[in-house]
Amino acid sequence: MEGGLIFLNGEIVPQQGPHLSALDRGFTLGDGVFDTLRAVRGRLFRLSDHLDRLRHSAETLDLPLPMDSSQLAGAISTVLEANGLANALIRITVSRGVPAERGLVPPSSPVPTLVIHAIPFHGYPEERYRRGYAAILSTIRRNETSPLSYVKSCNYLDSVLARMEAGRRRGDEALMLNCAGHLACGSSSNIFLVSGDSVVTPSLECGVLGGITRGTVIELAAGMGIDGFERPIAPEQLLTAQEAFITNTALGVMPLVAVEGKAIGSGAPGPITLRLREAYEGLVQAIS
């Protein structure tokens, strides 16, 4: 958002202009974490869940957060107000900051860099949901043995490469397998399959980031009497599923209608997917 304002280490500053040191470990090493959440009519959806995940990510990297949850919530509100935004996507980024010496070993007492920025967001066009997404199976693997698979770190290159591959092959999303050959997730999404009256999603142990939307959909399904299961899923099961969909903060629930050029189910958004999408959007719009 050209001309916008961001929160940087306690201050509101213009988005355009020099902000970070060229020596910041977030820039030189990808040594940091982030999280993205949504504001609707000025209200923050699942704020505590997002901040809990940010804190978990930081703890995994032994990275101290410069603010507690209450202070972060206040800083997010300040950014929204400064930009006059009520409907937005907000990204919180925390790096380990500028070290006194170069090298991989982090400083014993780091001074983290905190950036919060927001962009206008009213959701994606309805046509995208009526059509649904087509995916490819990426050649990039998700390493279920790596701690980085379970946090939102600033090193997102596996996902970047997977999404670039999808673009080359005219896919909307790239689905990633783990090292055991099971489905893990999309480049920026979690995946669900529908079989009968049940939904199934890869278990977290498959190298899956615990998506906030993923967790919300599991809760909604249980409340609607739809059985939900978390387990390893072979990629072949995509083509035997009746329906499939992907989830993330920006998309919500997006029908997945094809993979590798082959239709999933009828090749159109299915009834359980549509029910869950309606329930999820209702929850988002009902926040107060």
Distance between CA atoms of residues 24 and 112, nearest Å: 9
- Helix residue ranges per DSSP H, the chain: 25-28, 47-60, 69-83, 126-131, 157-168, 212-223, 271-285
Q: What angle do CA 243, 244, 248 make, to 5 degrees?
A: 150
So what's the pLDDT on residue 135? 98
Model confidence band, residue 1 (pLDDT cutoffs 50, 70, 90): very low
Burial class from Cβ neighbours inside 10 Å (0-12, 13-18, 19+) for residue 86 reads middle
Nearest 5°: the CA angle 203, 173, 267 is: 90
- How far, CA to CA in Å, does 234 sit from each of 41, 178, 250? 40, 10, 27
Over 90: is that where the pLDDT of 36 sits? Answer: yes
pLDDT 10s digits, 83-96? 999 999 999 999 99
Question: Per residue in 47-71, pLDDT tens?
Answer: 999 999 999 999 999 999 999 999 9
Which pTM was predicted? 0.95
pLDDT at residue 17, as a whole number? 77
Is the pLDDT assigned to residue 268 strictly greater than 90?
A: yes
Predicted local confidence at residue 16, as pLDDT: 85
> What would the pLDDT profile of 134-176 be if each residue is shown by its tens digit?
999 999 999 999 999 999 999 999 999 999 999 999 999 999 9
Q: What is the pLDDT of residue 258?
A: 98
Which pLDDT value is given to residue 288?
67
At 34 the pLDDT is 98
At residue 2, does pLDDT exceed 80?
no
Task: Calculate mean pLDDT across residues 255-284.
Answer: 97
- For 110, the token pair is 């780091």
| The pLDDT of residue 168 | 98
In this structure, are strands 198-201 and 227-230 parallel, antiparallel, or unpaired? parallel
Distance (Å, rounded) from C-alpha 136 to C-alpha 155? 22
State the pLDDT at residue 267. Answer: 97
Write down the pLDDT at residue 229: 96
Q: For residue 78, how many C-alpha atoms fall within 13 Å in the half-sphere facing its CB?
A: 17
Q: Across residues 199-204, what is the average pLDDT?
A: 98
238-256 pLDDT tens trace: 999 999 999 999 999 999 9
Q: What are phi and psi of 60, to 5 degrees?
A: -60, -35
High-pLDDT (> 90) share of the chain, %? 94
pLDDT for the residue 18: 73
